[in-house]
Structure 1
């Protein structure tokens, strides 16, 4: 167990990049045409004012949308599919979207239900939650005002505050940086020992067991029975954590499955072995996102929810599941709950979060690395791993 005090930088919301293109709604209104301002004025039922004065229209609109109940009332009136679309455009930290990206988010929000993706975009423009670009370079991009985004995020998080606690649970697991240390141990093991592979390209069971016992976080070799596929190239042969380590090392060309039936470390792997650090952990996290996006397509928004709810306090795991379960869909033999358990398990293994337990309740919070990585890495920007990579070797 660890009693280290978590690193807590002064971020208002995790995952929001700072860039000049993210303007507040007052600035966006100044670039809006008078017809759009009139339409917004009518939509929000603003007080009567000079319809020919852009300044008067903007002031009237700002008075209306600055009310505390403004966001809450709008969200209350949204359907389930509309809320899913709002989550997708609000929790994605991208500063701007193309129409194609917005329509893709609309399709994702529908989840197979009847409806037209374009209707979500039209509604967001009508409410002033999206604005078209005002310059020649940005005229085909759509932006969400930064303060609107923050207010909606706060409204989403608000209902989960009762499930948070500032005190650490009586016991908790913290594996921060252990994944990188075990990657180093794996490469060192290959440097020092001869590792022969079976016809399936797997490390022989007894040697694999010996290797796994040298790790800071040991695992047992998997037992035969039950389906295992979809979560990596070697997922069918190795336990979850080592499967990810192995796949990452193979993808980065740190290891080589030789034609003669041996597993060895490459010159790249030997060089990296002595220079592994926290940055490698971040790369492992990014690789995991790419790998798990194939069986869990909505992993990016699930991670954004986890990042928002798990900082700066601990939050009950059941509350996290409540927030993300609409984005989980069964994957062959995996249920929504088992997929969620896999995500949480791997976030702990990757050193992104800590898992605690108290009074028969499970809790989760971000580690110092988790705060930095969830702030610095947008899972929405990580492309799904190439399909050819996850095909098991023949």
Structure 2
């Protein structure tokens, strides 16, 4: 439902709180006047943009997680979990503490003639700190965040039956949020006016290599080691046949969470292997890797696997370690409508990427998202004389990303 519809179902108490938030001047006893005044105020672009601009990073992450969810309604418990997931750590607090510590060190190291002023300043800071400790802190937990979003008119309870316990974001506000976020993010990146002198484009290559893997198993006996992996010599033979060459993972390299075979094979090969395994085309029998009956049927077709199917699988497989992968792909798609400096995209989107164990946000963006999107044929990576590395979505990538409606369930491949 749209905002106007949700306001019409809201009780006068909630309408009054929303009107108070936006400082609407109207008859507080008239539901119709409250609704009209709220709509008039919220629909003003400068008011809406000001509200978005005042949000903390955690609030933006929380709202971002709701915008790209296939579901329309969320329970209170789900919203609380989303708010908690939006807090990636105390990095900002630590930065503030470090700045305060540096200021104190500077004051302590001041020249002799300045010590009285430094001491007075330090005493003043101590007094402020003591007063702050004595003053009760306002509640800032998940429920307070949800309550605040309700006061903004961004979240509404259902109005009847079981739905009254569920929360929804007005559909028209979802689009306005996306447009506002797009303007905000686009303003933070740098675009290239000219084409790069060279770029990599792997459209359709992964789909061809799915067929190549099945044909390889059809023509060769592939033994497996005791841990269920192909021997290094076999992997190298397979990589030579693929349209994209990859290096083997380094010894002791930290690799898990991004698929069943990510720990054993290079990123791209791992995705292809896991895809064929998930489709039921390959199986590991008695230390041998073989085609199944359905795998033999698929191999006999000798057709290229569709990019949309591989993209769907990749999103669901990587959803575990990167819960907001759909929103990140959406923003990469929007920022990459033309050649854009890769470094600025990384800097702009890193705050929205949660670390996954030893994988830092920069690594996740560069290797797990941008790198894999290139392998899937969704974007190109180029070398620009002025801007260094640049990226741009391919026509195929823009079509695939825009056309997907995916199941929310993440894929988990057990060993």
Aligned to 1:353: 379
Q: Are positions 1:287 and 2:264 aligned together?
A: no
Aligned to 1:195: 222
Matches within 5 A, 1:1-394: 23-47=1-25, 49-112=26-89, 115-136=140-161, 138-162=163-187, 163-164=190-191, 168-259=195-286, 261-275=287-301, 280-310=306-336, 312-342=337-367, 343-359=369-385, 360-377=387-404, 381-386=408-413, 389=414, 391=415
Aligned to 1:11: none
Any conservation in 1 of the 2:214–2:299 contact (CA below 8 Å)? Answer: yes
Structure with the larger RCO, 1 or 2 (CA within 8 Å, 6+ apart): 1
Any conservation in 2 of the 1:213–1:219 contact (CA below 8 Å)? Answer: no
Distance 1:287 1:98, change over 3 A: same
Aligned to 1:8: none
Any conservation in 2 of the 1:177–1:351 contact (CA below 8 Å)? Answer: yes
TM-fit CA distance, 1:217: 1.5
Structure 1 residues 202-211 or 161-170, which shifts more?
161-170
**Count of residue pairs brought into register by the alignment:** 363
Structure 1 residues 185-194 or 324-333, which shifts more?
324-333
Q: Give me the whole-angstrom Cα distance separating, in 1, the residues matched to 2:304 and 2:396.
A: 8
Q: Give me the whole-angstrom Cα distance separating, in 1, the residues matched to 2:236 and 2:303.
A: 26
> What 5-or-longer segments of structure 1 have no aligned partner?
1-22
Any conservation in 1 of the 2:207–2:305 contact (CA below 8 Å)? Answer: no
Aligned to 1:14: none
- TM-score w.r.t. length of structure 2: 0.78
Aligned to 1:7: none
- Provide Cα deviations, 1:38-83, integer angstroms capped at 9, x if missing partner: 2222221112x33333322222222212222112211232223223
Any conservation in 1 of the 2:211–2:304 contact (CA below 8 Å)? Answer: no
TM-fit CA distance, 1:317: 2.0
TM-fit CA distance, 1:377: 3.6
Distance 1:76 1:221, change over 3 A: closer
TM-fit CA distance, 1:145: 1.6
Any conservation in 2 of the 1:180–1:276 contact (CA below 8 Å)? Answer: no
Any conservation in 2 of the 1:351–1:370 contact (CA below 8 Å)? Answer: yes
Distance 1:166 1:282, change over 3 A: farther
Q: Give me the whole-angstrom Cα distance separating, in 1, the residues matched to 2:272 and 2:67.
A: 33
SS at match of 1:152: helix
TM-fit CA distance, 1:92: 3.4
Distance 1:167 1:186, change over 3 A: same
TM-fit CA distance, 1:280: 4.1
TM-fit CA distance, 1:182: 0.3
